[in-house]
C-alpha cells in the first residue's frame, strides 16, 4: 500500500513539474497521469536515438504511406528505470519532454446496425489521415480472422464456434504490442474492440462483459483509444444493407443471429431489430462505465457518407491534434 501511494505521488509530481516548467505546445494534448505511468513501465529508446516506438513532435520522421500490414519491426530495448540520474535514458532527463511524446491513436468504429456506414467511415478516415502524412493502419472487419495477432482467435472460432475471453484479451495484447512497436500514428479498427456484440452472441451476460471490459481497458492503456459509434434507426439501416448486399442478405443475417445465444432471441426481422437495440445499449453502457473516449454520431443513417465523415473529423480533432497538428 505504501509503495502504491509513493508511486502515485511520484507520477503526480512528475506531471505537475512537466506542466509547470515545460508547458505543452499549442496543438498538443497533455498526457494524463495514467499515460505517464505507462511511459515509465514500457521499454522506450534512449533520448539520443528516437525510434518509431517513442516519437516526439520535435523529431518526427518523414511521413510514411498508409499501411494495413501487421509485421512487427524490431526496436531497441531500453528501460527508463535502469538509467542513472541526469544521463540519457534516465527518468529525470525525460521529464521536460514527456508532454511532447505522441501516443498512437486507436479509433474503433461501431454502429447501431449493419448498413449504418461503419466500413465506409473507416475507409474515409483512413484516407483522410493518410493524406496528411500519417502512418495509418486500417484494420478491416474481416481481418480479425487473418491478422497474425488474432490467429488464436481465428483457430478457436473455426474449431469450436466460440472464443474464450482470455483468448480475446491475449490477442488484443499482442495487437497493441505490434502497434506500439511499429509506431503507427493512427489505427482505424472497423467493428473490433470492445467485442461486445461477440460476447453477447456467445451468451455472456452484462456482469461478465463488465469484467471483460475492465481487462480490455487496461490492455488498451498504451494507446489513446476513441470509440466512434454511428447511431440511427436499426430498421432503416438493415434495409439499406439489404439493398446493398442483395435480396438474400436479410434472410442470411436473421438466420445468423438466430443461431447465436442472443437475448432477446431472433426469429425474424422485427426481433432482429429488438436485439440490435439491446446490443446498442450494452455497447454504449459498457464504454461509458469504463470511461472510454466516446463519440456518438446521431441519426447517421439519415446522413450521406460525406456528412458522416465531416462530423467524425470535426469531433475527432481534440484527440488527433497530436498527429495532425490541429
Whether 237 has a pLDDT exceeding 80, the answer reads yes
pLDDT for the residue numbered 37: 58
| 89 or 187, greater pLDDT | 187
pLDDT for the residue numbered 157: 92
pLDDT for the residue numbered 149: 96
CATH number, domain at 160?
A: 3.40.50.300
Q: Which of 75, 101, 127 is the last residue of a domain?
A: 101
Structural domain that includes position 119: 105-324
Q: Are residues 22 and 48 in the same domain?
A: yes
Are the C-beta atoms of 34 and 14 separated by less than 8 Å? no
pLDDT, tens only, 40-69? 555 544 443 433 333 333 333 344 444 433
Instruction: Look at residue 113 and tell me if it is in a domain.
Output: yes
Total residue count of the chain as it appears in this document:
326
Q: Are residues 247 and 296 in the same domain?
A: yes
Instruction: Kindly indicate the confidence band of residue 96, based on its pLDDT and cuts at 50, 70 and 90.
Output: very low
Instruction: Look at residue 69 and tell me if it is in a domain.
Output: no
Instruction: Look at residue 75 and tell me if it is in a domain.
Output: no
Report the number of distinct structural domains present in the chain: 2
Q: Are residues 125 and 215 in the same domain?
A: yes
**Chain centre to alpha carbon of residue 309:** 18
Q: Are residues 257 and 116 in the same domain?
A: yes
pLDDT for the residue numbered 213: 97
Q: Are residues 22 and 140 in the same domain?
A: no
Q: Are residues 203 and 114 in the same domain?
A: yes
What is the rounded CA–CA span in Å between residue 41 and residue 44? Answer: 9
Instruction: Look at residue 77 and tell me if it is in a domain.
Output: no
What is the rounded CA–CA span in Å between residue 99 and residue 268? Answer: 53
Q: Are residues 182 and 314 in the same domain?
A: yes
pLDDT, tens only, 305-319? 999 999 999 999 988
Whether 266 has a pLDDT exceeding 50, the answer reads yes
Among 106, 100, 5, residue whose Cα is nearest residue 55: 100
What is the rounded CA–CA span in Å between residue 49 and residue 59? Answer: 10
**What pTM does this model have?**
0.70
Among 27, 78, 65, residue whose Cα is nearest residue 319: 27
Strands 101-102 and 55-56: antiparallel
| 38 or 98, greater pLDDT | 38
| 180 or 29, greater pLDDT | 180
| 112 or 2, greater pLDDT | 112
Whether 7 has a pLDDT exceeding 70, the answer reads no
Instruction: Kindly indicate the confidence band of residue 136, based on its pLDDT and cuts at 50, 70 and 90.
Output: very high
pLDDT for the residue numbered 118: 96
pLDDT for the residue numbered 189: 97
SS3 call for 169: helix
Instruction: Look at residue 302 and tell me if it is in a domain.
Output: yes
Q: Are residues 23 and 120 in the same domain?
A: no
Instruction: Look at residue 155 and tell me if it is in a domain.
Output: yes
Instruction: Look at residue 29 and tell me if it is in a domain.
Output: yes
Q: Which of 101, 135, 162 is the last residue of a domain?
A: 101
Q: Are residues 242 and 315 in the same domain?
A: yes
pLDDT for the residue numbered 141: 92
* Distant-in-sequence, close-in-space partners of 224: CB < 8 Å, separation ≥ 6: 35, 103, 104, 105, 106, 293, 319, 322
Q: Are residues 244 and 305 in the same domain?
A: yes
Q: Are residues 274 and 304 in the same domain?
A: yes
pLDDT for the residue numbered 320: 82
* pLDDT (mean) for 235-259: 94
Instruction: Look at residue 71 and tell me if it is in a domain.
Output: no
What is the rounded CA–CA span in Å between residue 36 and residue 29? Answer: 13
Q: Are residues 200 and 279 in the same domain?
A: yes
**Chain centre to alpha carbon of residue 172:** 10
Amino acid at each position: 500500500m505504501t509503495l502504491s501511494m509513493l508511486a502515485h505521488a511520484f507520477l503526480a509530481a512528475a506531471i505537475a513539474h512537466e506542466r509547470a516548467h515545460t508547458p505543452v505546445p499549442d496543438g498538443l494534448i497533455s498526457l494524463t497521469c495514467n499515460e505517464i505511468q505507462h511511459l515509465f513501465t514500457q521499454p522506450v529508446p534512449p533520448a539520443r536515438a528516437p525510434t518509431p516506438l517513442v516519437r516526439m513532435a520535435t523529431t518526427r520522421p518523414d511521413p510514411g504511406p498508409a499501411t494495413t500490414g501487421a509485421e512487427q519491426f524490431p526496436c531497441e530495448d531500453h528501460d527508463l528505470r535502469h538509467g542513472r540520474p541526469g544521463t540519457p535514458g534516465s527518468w529525470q532527463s525525460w521529464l521536460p519532454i514527456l508532454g511532447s511524446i505522441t501516443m498512437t491513436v486507436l479509433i474503433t468504429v461501431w454502429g447501431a446496425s449493419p448498413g449504418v456506414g461503419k466500413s465506409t467511415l473507416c475507409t474515409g478516415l483512413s484516407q483522410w489521415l493518410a493524406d496528411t502524412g500519417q502512418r495509418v493502419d486500417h484494420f478491416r472487419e474481416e481481418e480479425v480472422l487473418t491478422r497474425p495477432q488474432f490467429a488464436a482467435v481465428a483457430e478457436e472460432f473455426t474449431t469450436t464456434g466460440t472464443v474464450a475471453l482470455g483468448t480475446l484479451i491475449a490477442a488484443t495484447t499482442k495487437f497493441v504490442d505490434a502497434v506500439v512497436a511499429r509506431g503507427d500514428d493512427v489505427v482505424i479498427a472497423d467493428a473490433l474492440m470492445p467485442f461486445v456484440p461477440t460476447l453477447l452472441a456467445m451468451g455472456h451476460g452484462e456482469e461478465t462483459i463488465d469484467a471483460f471490459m475492465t481487462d480490455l481497458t487496461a490492455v488498451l492503456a498504451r494507446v489513446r483509444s476513441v470509440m466512434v459509434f454511428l447511431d440511427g434507426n436499426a430498421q432503416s439501416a438493415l434495409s439499406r444493407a439489404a439493398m446493398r448486399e442483395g435480396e438474400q442478405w436479410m434472410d442470411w443475417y436473421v438466420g445468423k443471429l438466430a443461431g447465436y445465444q442472443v437475448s432477446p432471441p431472433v426469429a425474424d426481422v422485427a426481433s432482429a431489430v429488438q436485439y440490435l437495440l439491446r446490443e446498442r445499449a450494452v455497447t454504449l453502457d459498457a464504454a461509458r462505465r469504463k470511461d472510454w473516449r466516446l463519440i456518438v454520431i446521431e441519426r447517421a443513417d439519415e446522413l450521406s457518407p460525406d456528412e458522416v465523415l465531416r462530423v467524425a473529423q470535426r469531433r475527432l480533432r481534440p484527440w488527433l491534434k497530436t498527429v495532425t497538428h490541429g
